[in-house]
């Protein structure tokens, strides 16, 4: 069973700090990697996609991919209370299916 693992949290950080969210995946043939943000009661919103090893920055968000270690992370700089949500890691595996982790709940304390 191909899996995407995330710590369920909650991860609690003070306002202005860097939040670091991590995800590991089991299928070494996975090719595309995504981070979605989901507010309580709402649908997931795509915030980052990354396809090759290294870092990808978009505003306050940085996605990091390490295929050799099979992990992908999301850094949120200058965290704001409005960033409080559940962050879902999703991976397109070697059979071209999008597999979701169960999410990490982030709490940003004012």
Interacting residues toward other proteins by CB under 8 A? 4, 8, 31-32, 34, 36, 42-46, 49, 51, 88, 92, 96-103
How many angstroms separate the Cα of 62 from the Cα of each of 18, 27, 57, 73?
Answer: 11, 23, 4, 8
Chain-centre distance of CA 9, in angstroms?
Answer: 13
Residue with smaller CB distance to other proteins, 71 or 100: 100
DSSP secondary structure string for all residues of 23-55:
EEES-TT--EEEEEEE-TTS--EEEEEE-SSEE
User: Least CB distance from residue 106 to other proteins, whole Å?
Assistant: 15
Residue with smaller CB distance to other proteins, 79 or 101: 101
Residue with smaller CB distance to other proteins, 31 or 66: 31
Residue with smaller CB distance to other proteins, 44 or 79: 44
Gap between the Cα atoms of 110 and 90, Å rounded: 29
User: Least CB distance from residue 14 to other proteins, whole Å?
Assistant: 26
Paired sense of beta strands 54-58 and 98-100, if any: unpaired
């Amino acid at each position: 069973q191909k899996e995407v693992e995330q710590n369920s949290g909650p991860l609690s950080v003070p306002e202005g700090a860097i939040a670091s969210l991590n995800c590991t995946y089991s299928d070494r043939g996975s090719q595309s990697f995504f981070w979605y943000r989901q507010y309580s009661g709402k649908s997931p919103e795509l915030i980052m996609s990354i396809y090759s090893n290294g870092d990808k920055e978009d505003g306050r968000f940085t996605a990091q991919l390490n295929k050799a270690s099979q992990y992908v992370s999301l850094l949120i700089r200058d965290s704001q209370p409005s960033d409080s949500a559940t962050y879902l890691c999703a991976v397109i595996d070697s059979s071209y299916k999008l597999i979701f982790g169960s999410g990490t709940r982030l709490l940003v304390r004012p």
